Every structure is written in structure tokens, then in C-alpha cells.
């Protein structure tokens, strides 16, 4: 693509982000001060349309960026957004808020992202796909009732009440605990296979009948520990954009946000990256989001993705501002996490 075509495409995307409607050659010439004639701009726009970067909604109308046009804009043409003093101050204020839980930090960042960008903010704790139980404990209550306690690799603790098919005694329940730690400790769901289960049954000997029931409980626990979480803020912001004026389509989008499954899958698929991910229209592979864009930034600590903050808005969102906002927020969150870890380590040091 020639430099002139790049300038014209960038001018059209910038103008469309501002006005929301088709952009004509005269508008580009007047507002963007390109050093060429209106006729030249029209010819270049026609060629950009043939190349797939622009679309013409109506015969007599100007052009709007296509999904490919937005992708090229984000990858190659976008300019750095200079945040205002007020915006920087609001982001930096996150450092002054003492919040112990990552959930709270992500939710606060999501609210601020929505407020600063005027789109919908999203706070995500993605599926890890590698959660394991590092320690099993059993608590005998009565012959027909015991509790299984599971400590996850994430630090979470889960308990399940189990009523065995046959009465058990405290020694058998203790034996089960030892066997689970021996054969299943540190394994995620995909790693618990038939040979391991058979070894567990062999270890339990005459009490092997307990194994099938407890294995099902273990799978359930691992599923609960790896569900992922998502909180959404500022949905009402979307109503001001004409892209969401269709009530039926907007309700479908709300349904997707409420179910959370599709967006959690998107983030989980992209969690190996620690930079900002920008999914434009059909790139998300979620049909109801074909006219939207999802931008999110993972929060990484020691090489592990702890969560993500994101913004959902129309395909013509102000990408430069969204990217700068998410970068600023994620930097602050990672500073909070590092400061918390440092304070904890300092608190553990012996006096003198």
C-alpha cells in the first residue's frame, strides 16, 4: 500500500470513529488537509475499496472502513494516544487504593476503563486450563459421611461432602486421603487417566469401591476451580452508539455478556500473549459481536496470567485511547501486585 493510500485510509478511519457515518472525499480533504485533490482522493478511495479496506454502504454515500481496514489501522497506522493529566491521575489513584483481592482490583480497573473510554469495561479471571489440586485432606464425620478438602494450585480451597455407598471407618478415610495425595496431587483434569485411576483402586484394595465416587468429585472440583470469572461495567455506554440501536441484536449481545462463556473462551485462547489483544468483528468468532470490537490486556505475574481487563465497544472504537488506557491500568495493577508481594516478603523477614 502506498503512503498516500495509508494516509487516506487513516483519515477515513479517524473521521468514521468521530462521526459514525460514511466519509466522503470532500470531508477528508477539508478536515484532514491532505496534499492532493478531491478527485485523487476519490480514486484512491475506490482502489482501497477494491483492495477490501473500505466499504460503500450506499451508492451515493462515502466509504466506511471494513474489518480489514480496521485491522490494518490498528496494526500499522494508529498513533499513540497522549493521556490527559486527569486520566493519568485517575489511573494512578489505583495505587492508593488498598485492595487485597485481585478480583477487587480488576473490578475497579474495569469500572475505570469504562469511565475513561465511554465503552463497556470487562474484568476477567480466565480459565487457566492447568489448575491442579496440590493437597487432599479428608475429615471423617460418621460412617456414612466424610468431607474431602482440596487445596488448589491457585491457592483456593474447596470442600465437598461425600456420602459413600457403603459405610466407612476413620482409618479407610485416612487411607483414601493418603492415596489421593500419592496418585493425584499436582495433576490437572486432563492428566487423570485410566491407568492412574486403576493404580488408585489397587492401592485402596478392599475399599476400591470408593474410588469411582471420589474421582467424580475430584473432576467436579477441578471444573469449579477452573471456571473463570467475568464482571462487566458500563453496559449502558453502548446504547449511545447507533451500532447498537437494533433492540434484538443488543439483547443478544447482553445475553452473551451474561452467559460469559464466549468471552471467557476468547480470553483463554489468547492468554499466552502478555500484550494487548484486539479482536475486531468476526475475528472473535462470536456472531453477535460481528459489529463490535473486544480489546483486552492480560495481567501477568511471574510468567502466569492472573486475569485480564478489557473494553467492548463498536468496531469503530477509539483504539488509540483504549490501548493507552488498558496499558496504563495493567501497569498499575502489576505494580500493586508487586508491591503486595514485596510487603509480604518484608513482613516475613526476621528482626535484626
Model pLDDT for residues 23-70, shown as the tens digit of each residue: 988 888 876 667 788 888 889 999 999 999 999 887 666 899 999 999
Residue 7 CA to its chain's centroid (Å): 32
Under DSSP, the state recorded for 203 is H
**Is residue 141 within 8 Å of residue 147, measured between CB atoms?**
yes
Question: Mean pLDDT throughout 311-332?
Answer: 94
| Site of grid cell 490494518 | 72
Task: Check whether 352 has a pLDDT greater than 50.
Answer: no
DSSP codes, 43-57: HHHHHHHHHTSEE-S
Higher pLDDT, 313 or 124: 313
How many percent of the chain have pLDDT more than 70? 91
Q: What letters, b where the CB count within 10 A reaches 16 and e where it falls short, cover 55-65? A: eeeeeeebbbb
Task: Check whether 348 has a pLDDT greater than 60.
Answer: no
**Is residue 176 within 8 Å of residue 138, measured between CB atoms?**
yes
Alpha helix ranges (H) inside 226-284: 247-259, 261-269
d(CA 85, CA 65): 31
Mind listing the pLDDT tens digit for each residue in 88-97?
999 888 767 6
SS3 (DSSP) at 273:
coil
| Site of grid cell 477487587 | 104
Task: Check whether 249 has a pLDDT greater than 70.
Answer: yes
d(CA 220, CA 168): 22
Instruction: At 188, list the grid cell.
Output: 490437572
Instruction: At 191, list the grid cell.
Output: 492428566
Burial class (CB in 10 A: 0-12, 13-18, 19+), 48: buried
Q: Which residues have a Cβ under 8 Å from the Cβ of 242 and sit 6 or more positions away? A: 20
No. of helices (H) and no. of strands (E), the chain: 12, 10
Domains of the chain: 3-77 (1.10.10.10), 85-127+228-348 (3.30.450.40), 133-225 (3.30.390.60)
Under DSSP, the state recorded for 76 is I
Amino acid at each position: 500500500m502506498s503512503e498516500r493510500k495509508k494516509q487516506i485510509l487513516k483519515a477515513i478511519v479517524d473521521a468514521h470513529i468521530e462521526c459514525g457515518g460514511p466519509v466522503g472525499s470532500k470531508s477528508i480533504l477539508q478536515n484532514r488537509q491532505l496534499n492532493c485533490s478531491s478527485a485523487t482522493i476519490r480514486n484512491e478511495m475506490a482502489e482501497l475499496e477494491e483492495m477490501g479496506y473500505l466499504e460503500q454502504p450506499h451508492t451515493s454515500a462515502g466509504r466506511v472502513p471494513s474489518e480489514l481496514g480496521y485491522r490494518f489501522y490498528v496494526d500499522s497506522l494508529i498513533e499513540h494516544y497522549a493521556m490527559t493529566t486527569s486520566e493519568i491521575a485517575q489511573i494512578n489513584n489505583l495505587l492508593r487504593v488498598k485492595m487485597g483481592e485481585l478480583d477487587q482490583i480488576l473490578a475497579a480497573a474495569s469500572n475505570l476503563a469504562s469511565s475513561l473510554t465511554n465503552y463497556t469495561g470487562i474484568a476477567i479471571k480466565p480459565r487457566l486450563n492447568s489448575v491442579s489440586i496440590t493437597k487432599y485432606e479428608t475429615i471423617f464425620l460418621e460412617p456414612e459421611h466424610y468431607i474431602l478438602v482440596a487445596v488448589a494450585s491457585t491457592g483456593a480451597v474447596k470442600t465437598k461432602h461425600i456420602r459413600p455407598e457403603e459405610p466407612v471407618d476413620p482409618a479407610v478415610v485416612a487411607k483414601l486421603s493418603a492415596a489421593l495425595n500419592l496418585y493425584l496431587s499436582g495433576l490437572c483434569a486432563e492428566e487423570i487417566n485410566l491407568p492412574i485411576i486403576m493404580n488408585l483402586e489397587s492401592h485402596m484394595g478392599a475399599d476400591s469401591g470408593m474410588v469411582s465416587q471420589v474421582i467424580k468429585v475430584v473432576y467436579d472440583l477441578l471444573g469449579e476451580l477452573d471456571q473463570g470469572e467475568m464482571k462487566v461495567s458500563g453496559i449502558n455506554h453502548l446504547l449511545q452508539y447507533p451500532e447498537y440501536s437494533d433492540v434484538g441484536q443488543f439483547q443478544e449481545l447482553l445475553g452473551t455478556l451474561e452467559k460469559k462463556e464466549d468471552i471467557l473462551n476468547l480470553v483463554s485462547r489468547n492468554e499466552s500473549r502478555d500484550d494487548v489483544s484486539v479482536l475486531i468483528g468476526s475475528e472473535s468468532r462470536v456472531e453477535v459481536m460481528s459489529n463490535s470490537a473486544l480489546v483486552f490486556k492480560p495481567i501477568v505475574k511471574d510468567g502466569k496470567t492472573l486475569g485480564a481487563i478489557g473494553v467492548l465497544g463498536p468496531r469503530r472504537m477509539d483504539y488509540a485511547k483504549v490501548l493507552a488506557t488498558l496499558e496504563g491500568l495493567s501497569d498499575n495493577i502489576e505494580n500493586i501486585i508487586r508491591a503486595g508481594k514485596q510487603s509480604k516478603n518484608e513482613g516475613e523477614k526476621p528482626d535484626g
